[in-house]
Amino acid sequence: MSQVNAIGLDTQETETIIDELNRLLSCYQIQYMNARGFHWNIKGRDFFELHVKFEEIYNLLLEKVDEIAERILTLGGEPLHAFTDYIELSQINEAKNISDGVQAVQNLLDGYTTLIKMQRNILVDASDNEDEGTAALMSDYIKEQEKLVWMLKAYLD
């Protein structure tokens, strides 16, 4: 007989989702720092446009960092909070010394592609565990980020 946590979800399945969310949190933290660095260091003809866009992006990412950490806590887990853990677990690499707009946008596009793929996997696992809260969060992120991917790709075309 399976055990359930305080919100009525199977504890073993929930541990898997917590692990996935911590990996996702790690990716978000690296994506956030990349976007922040691009905002600070962007140069060139599109400076004004990209400086503002990168600020918008890093603010959206920071909001999601907090939401994911709080979801992990809601599920009974502990969110990772050390950059050594983030770097170890992230599927998104740190971007250093990028000031070129095209390179920065491509980097963000690649990162969002990774995030969407991870979120789709978590969505499936959460749905299988009847974890509507996590599934809804992932669904909302996917919808928003698919549009952002389209816009970033359009910038590069």
Domains annotated for the chain, with CATH where assigned, are: 11-156 (1.20.1260.10)
Say what the pLDDT of residue 1 is.
56
Say what the pLDDT of residue 154 is.
97
CB-CB contact of 21 with 122 (8 Å): yes
pLDDT at 37 over 80: yes
101-157 pLDDT, tens per residue? Answer: 999 999 999 999 999 999 999 999 999 999 999 999 999 999 999 999 999 999 999
Alpha-carbon separation of residue 61 from 15, 27, 67 (angstroms): 24, 10, 10
Say what the pLDDT of residue 63 is.
98
- Average pLDDT for 13-30: 98
Give every CB contact of residue 120 below 8 A, 6+ residues apart in sequence: 138, 142
- Average pLDDT for 8-18: 95
Say what the pLDDT of residue 120 is.
98
Q: Look at residues 117, 110, 92, 97 and name the one whose alpha carbon lies nearest to residue 152.
A: 110
73-110 pLDDT, tens per residue? Answer: 999 999 999 999 999 999 999 999 999 999 999 999 99
Say what the pLDDT of residue 109 is.
98
Say what the pLDDT of residue 32 is.
98
Say what the pLDDT of residue 35 is.
98
